[in-house]
Amino acid sequence: MSPSILVVLTSHSELADTGKKTGWYLSEFSHPHHVFASSSPPPKITVASPKGGAAPLDQSSIEAAKDDEISVEFLHKQSALWEATTPLSQILKEGIDGYDAVFFPGGHGPMFDLANDKESQELVRKFWEAGKVVSAVCHGPAALVNVKLSNGEYLLKGKKVTGFSNSEEGAVGLSEKMPFLLETRIKEVGAEYEKTADWGEKVVVDGKLVTGQNPASAKAVGEAILKAIV
């Protein structure tokens, strides 16, 4: 029987007060998806978002991936995945028994909605407490930093975790526009934050928790998710 992965995308499209748009980051979904699709048997993929419907794709990530064959093909052939996402409320109503893992791609959008979305937090708690894989890449771990378990402890407390670093945020000039800095928040909730050089590949696996630092880590995150659910 094929495994099943729930991918949760942001519904947020405004980049603070910059007048620019944001959303989820193309390569951070395309590369894990390519890994999944290339496995045998390939897992079933369900895509959800807080609001449901079309999940906003960060247009700058399309430009960044213009020479990335995997992302270009994904953009042109898989748009149905993000143009009609399932609302998180419906996923919670239907239950998570049929899923093996939940995965949060990044982009700056999750910093604004998934970080504080109560339904997303409930979903993550349910996955974790059911012994399922919880995974995220780049800004995706924003969806995990405020999740508390049934015992009142932060999910990430005492865990080894990575995510978009403060120095990488500074390099893209958005530190002052974020509602919080992801690396700082990961440390604040008691996690052991790990990173490599800016823009280098870094994946951290702590039991059923899989996190990646940045876009360069997306493929390896997909591979780690597959390994964790086999």
Q: How confident is the model at residue 76 (pLDDT cuts 50, 70, 90)?
A: very high
Write down the catalytic residue from 12, 28, 139, 168. 139
Contacts of 44 (CB under 8 A, 6+ apart): 2, 3, 4, 5
The pLDDT score that the predictor gives to residue 230 is 77
> Helix H segments across 143-195?
166-171, 182-188
Q: Annotated catalytic residue: which of 169, 176, 188, 201?
A: 169
31 in catalytic set:
no
Q: Residue 192 catalytic?
A: no
CB proximity list for 146: less than 8 A, separation 6 or greater: 115, 116, 121, 154, 189
* pLDDT per residue as tens digits for the range 21-68: 999 999 999 999 999 999 999 999 999 999 999 999 999 999 999 999
Q: Can you tell me the mean pLDDT for 142-146?
A: 98
Judged by DSSP in three states, 62 sits in: helix
Position 206 scores a pLDDT of 98
Catalytic position from the list 138, 176, 194, 201:
138
Q: How does residue 208 score in pLDDT terms, banded at 50, 70 and 90?
A: very high
Tell me, yes or no, if 139 is annotated catalytic.
yes
* pTM, two decimal places: 0.98
Sheet containing 101-104: which strands, arranged edge to edge? 86-87, 44-49, 4-8, 101-104, 133-137, 209-212, 203-206
Residue 1 reports pLDDT greater than 90: no
User: What pLDDT shows up at residue 192?
Assistant: 98
